Amino acid sequence: MRQNKIAICGMIFLMLMLILLACHSTAEKPITLTVEYPYPNEFYKRYAYPFERHFPLIDIQVIPKADQTSTVDIRYFNSLSAYKELSDSGGLLHLEPLIQQEPSQWKNISPIMTDILTFNTENGLYGLAPSFSSCAIFYNKDLFAKYKIPLPKNRSTWGDIFELASRFPAQADDGKPLYGFKSNYYENIGIALIMRWGQTEGLRFIDPNTLKIQMNTPAWKRIWSKTMDALRSGRIYKETQPTEGEMELDPIYTGQAAMELQSEGAASNFNINQHFEGGQTIHWDMVTVPVDPRNPDYSDYYSIGEIYGISAAAASERQKAAWELLKWIVQGGADASLDMDYGLTARTDLSASVKGHDLSPLTMLKASPNNVNPYDFVHYEIINALKSVGNEIVEDVIAGKLTIDEALIQIEAQGQQAVDAAAITVSHVEAN
């Protein structure tokens, strides 16, 4: 009897060892993941090589360009519209169930990033990003003190910012122009400011499906009227700036602008630009971007230009490996960049900093669930054609050649012609 028990125990032990060996063999099976990314060398350096050292049995193959029918395991998107298109068509794996299985690993990931990517699909979260971009209003503390003007505040409206800007004199003591506010636009600035104010308040000026212009409304008229007042004051910078060739420093860096709306990169540029010709040592600070007064805790200035999703068509074992790589990219298994070259890291425990400055206005506001950014839905050439016509109309209003009522009628008529012509051109180019 004792011998039988020993034999049975031995058989059970042997079976357990075989099962463990089988599991170990399965787990140790090498796998190759295919990843879509336009610049393979960059991806290998930032993510793949460190990941492969940590997961030696997973090999990464980067494919520069893949169409929607390609069988890559991880898809890459540089725009929310492309991400939305594939996720809504069922081409991406739903990620929320995977995140819910390991919540502790995601407690230090910014909800700004996940909210943006959730808001831009029909049914949840299908992608992740290692970083995102934001904007803030940077201001020159010395100019505000010199002219005894109250400092800008977080959660100001566009009207608040323009009113502050109008308090500054038109010239500095040295006779050079002085501006109360400069936007982050470099051409067609008047109409761009009008459109941006409307976007902040959730207004559309173009239907993304029909491309029909709609601006002749009471809400748009109010924005036109207040922006025209600000532009006429001369305190809003509206000169066209070169975007290539020899570049001039923005007036915020030369002491000629009290406020400027810029992305997170400006926080590092103050120290750099003071060493260039015309640059000055600026004592600066920042506040949040303008907000919709009805929703003052939200910003629609967040953007994401590097999104990854797992292909729904990938085999299950490849999806598991792809999930490990996706976590590595987002959670910072690779060295997380804090120099803002790629934007603001999605990791809240590794927030970027600039000595002596509070950068919280860049992330203080929640991501707005209402995205009406026209560039996410309409080809940029079409929007730019409308801006070109629209800015001429703005200049006519400033010069007193048109009333605002006449301008609203003209932009719907002439703007529609420009949009229709641009749409035909774009369709021909895309067809070829």
- pLDDT tens digits for 211-249? 999 999 999 999 999 999 999 999 999 988 766 656 688
Looking at every residue in the chain, the average pLDDT score rounds to 89
Question: Which range among 5-14, 210-219, 250-259 shows the weakest confidence by mean pLDDT?
Answer: 5-14
| pLDDT on residue 428 | 86
Mean pLDDT of 18-42: 72
- pLDDT tens digits for 56-72? 999 999 999 866 556 79
Supply 282's token pair: 């600026």
Mean pLDDT of 308-325: 93
Quick one: which H or E segment has residue 12?
A: helix 2-27
Quick one: which H or E segment has residue 60?
A: strand 58-63
User: DSSP readout, 292-355?
Assistant: BTTBTTEES--B-S-EEEEBTTS-HHHHHHHHHHHHHHHHTSSPPP-SSTT-EESBGGG---BT
Enumerate residues 6+ apart whose C-beta is below 8 A from 322.
Answer: 33, 73, 74, 310, 311, 314
- Residue 23 DSSP SS3: helix
* 131 pLDDT above the threshold of 90: yes
220-226 own/partner pairs: CB under 8 Å, 24+ apart: 220/194, 220/408, 221/404, 221/405, 221/408, 223/158, 223/194, 223/197, 223/198, 224/194, 224/397, 224/404, 224/407, 224/408, 225/404, 226/158, 226/159, 226/162, 226/197
* 125 DSSP assignment: -
User: How far apart, in whole angstroms, are the C-alpha atoms of residue 196 and residue 134?
Assistant: 15
| pLDDT on residue 200 | 97
Q: 58-63 and 74-77: which strand pairing?
A: unpaired
User: How far apart, in whole angstroms, are the C-alpha atoms of residue 134 and residue 312?
Assistant: 30
| pLDDT on residue 274 | 78
| pLDDT on residue 277 | 75
Q: Are 330 and 109 in contact (CB under 8 A)?
A: yes
User: How far apart, in whole angstroms, are the C-alpha atoms of residue 399 and residue 420?
Assistant: 28
Q: Taking the C-alpha atoms of 146, 149, 151 and 156 in order, what is their torsion angle to the nearest 10 degrees? A: -150
Give the closest residue to 270 by CA, choosing from 222, 200, 340, 220: 340
* 11 pLDDT above the threshold of 60: no
Percent of the chain at pLDDT exceeding 90? 71
Using pLDDT thresholds of 50, 70 and 90, give the confidence band for residue 273. confident
The CA angle 384-389-395, to the nearest 5 degrees, is 120
| pLDDT on residue 28 | 66
| pLDDT on residue 10 | 47
Using pLDDT thresholds of 50, 70 and 90, give the confidence band for residue 275. confident
pTM (two decimals):
0.87
Question: Which range among 12-16, 118-122, 331-335 shows the weakest confidence by mean pLDDT?
Answer: 12-16
For residue 40, the number of C-alpha atoms closer than 13 Å in the C-beta half-sphere is 9
Give all domains of the chain, ordered by start, each with its CATH number.
Answer: 2-133+303-367 (3.40.190.10), 135-300 (3.40.190.10)
- pLDDT tens digits for 138-180? 999 999 999 999 999 999 999 999 999 999 999 998 889 999 9
| pLDDT on residue 139 | 98
- pLDDT tens digits for 333-391? 655 555 567 789 999 887 767 877 889 999 999 999 988 899 888 999 999 999 999 99
Q: Are 340 and 264 in contact (CB under 8 A)?
A: yes
Percent of the chain at pLDDT exceeding 70? 89
| pLDDT on residue 241 | 74
- pLDDT tens digits for 280-303? 899 999 999 999 999 999 999 999
Mean pLDDT of 7-14: 46
Mean pLDDT of 113-136: 95
* 25 pLDDT above the threshold of 60: no
Mean pLDDT of 88-104: 94
Give the closest residue to 224 by CA, choosing from 417, 378, 390: 390
